[in-house]
Structure 1
């Protein structure tokens, strides 16, 4: 930079922005030109938008059709958007968008085998114990008042309602086992955990089946040789969509 430019810049006067007068300090900071420019541009932009919308409203054809007419409804004076046809869970949608049919089929097969393995471990003893017992005891007259079923069956009182795996007290005393209540509580806890896992596996396998059937149906609908079918029921998280295809005679 030349010396005369440096001298000119050194002697340049620094202009300061004008502040709000003392009598108008209660109104806040003084609006600068850049602030006024932003406010003016925003005002004119909104005015132009309202003018355009007013013009479109005046030029609108009342008999004109647009697709949003059939995708919305007015109930009790309120505008409502129609819900999507297929109500799938976010996990099902993500699976359909990121994976193919072979992967879904493989995961469903894995879940089915795990369900069969868990069911083979459970002998459904809770269902058997829930049925009413019709065992009849014959006692002498007057003895029914103080009759003790656990003592008669020679078992623990907590095991009376069980129809299977009901050991006698003599067999329990021969073994070095912990308290019977603790064993029963731990057994029920393990069994309940197994049943909870089984219910989750069944629900997972059901969702994978819906995803698999939906993907297969969409792939079949892409066939240009097949006429467009009629949709009977929309798809949900538990059931795939139902279509009615036109009968075509095979040669």
Structure 2
């Protein structure tokens, strides 16, 4: 740099921004350049943001779907999340998170086989006797009042309510009943009641495993359905899986 330029720079006067004149103090502080710079930068930044949002809106696919669209609502200008009904029990959630569908299917098969084995041991005679059943007999006119059902079935009147194991009178006359201790009868009765309770619990367990298996299979199908858009027909509950309707696609 030449000496002339150095002398010119040394003699250069530093211009300072003036303050607000006394007559304009009621208008507030006079904006300086640094204040204008901050305001201008903020204005341009907001303008760029609006421009970007406008571009995203124009480029958005109208058929694009977000789950939050159906999981939230705006009511009276206030945004609310929709509270979903809990369709999973704690045990169902635990099994679905820690086990796979093969394990659930195996456990359900085991429960089904145990139920069949217990039912075959009991023959379900009590359930058969308690079931509502009808048997129609046709008689001649005038015989309705004198019709004897026990005589018609050839059995004892106390056995009429039975649907199974109802012997005839001729078989009862030949039957020799052994002497059974009342204590043994009471023990057998308790054992039978215990087996019926176990069957009821296992039936409930098998039903719950079936629901879990259906939910897991449906979840897997929904994950694979990238092109298909299934329609939800019925919401799922703790006792049943949700129902979806998949569009039919003709295979070549």
Match of 2:186 in 1: 185
TM-superposed CA distance for 1:132, in Å, is 9.3
Structure 2 CA distance for partners of 1:189 and 1:80, relative to 1, 3 Å: farther
For residues 237 and 95 of structure 1, the distance between their equivalents in structure 2, rounded to whole angstroms, comes to 14
Task: Report Cα offsets for 1:18-68 as digits up to 9, x if no partner.
Answer: xxxxxxxxxxxxxxxxxxxxxxxxxxxxxxxxxxxxxxxxxxxxxxxxx58
Structure 2 CA distance for partners of 1:226 and 1:116, relative to 1, 3 Å: farther
Task: Report Cα offsets for 1:137-189 as digits up to 9, x if no partner.
Answer: 9xxxxxxxxxxxxxx96xxx9x9966638988x944xx45313xx44433332
Structure 2 CA distance for partners of 1:132 and 1:73, relative to 1, 3 Å: farther
TM-superposed CA distance for 1:108, in Å, is 0.8
TM-superposed CA distance for 1:80, in Å, is 8.5
For residues 120 and 213 of structure 2, the distance between their equivalents in structure 1, rounded to whole angstroms, comes to 26
State the SS of the aligned residue for 1:231.
strand
TM-superposed CA distance for 1:190, in Å, is 1.7
Structure 2 CA distance for partners of 1:188 and 1:177, relative to 1, 3 Å: closer
Structure 2 CA distance for partners of 1:71 and 1:246, relative to 1, 3 Å: same
Aligned residue pairs total 159
Match of 1:99 in 2: 99
State the SS of the aligned residue for 2:211.
helix
Q: How does 1:165-176 map to 2 (within 5 A)?
A: 171-172=176-177, 175=178
TM-superposed CA distance for 1:208, in Å, is 0.7
State the SS of the aligned residue for 1:135.
helix
Structure 1 residue runs of 5 or longer lacking an equivalent are 1-66, 138-151
Match of 1:135 in 2: 150
Q: How does 1:36-75 map to 2 (within 5 A)?
A: 67=68, 70-71=71-72
Match of 1:122 in 2: 122
Residue pair 2:88, 2:237 contacting (<8 A) in 1 also: yes
For residues 100 and 198 of structure 1, the distance between their equivalents in structure 2, rounded to whole angstroms, comes to 26
Structure 2 CA distance for partners of 1:132 and 1:72, relative to 1, 3 Å: same
Task: Using the TM superposition, name which of 126-135 and 103-112 deviates more.
Answer: 126-135
Structure 2 residue runs of 5 or longer lacking an equivalent are 1-67, 136-148
Q: CA RMSD in A?
A: 3.7
Match of 1:204 in 2: 205
* CA radius of gyration, larger in: 2
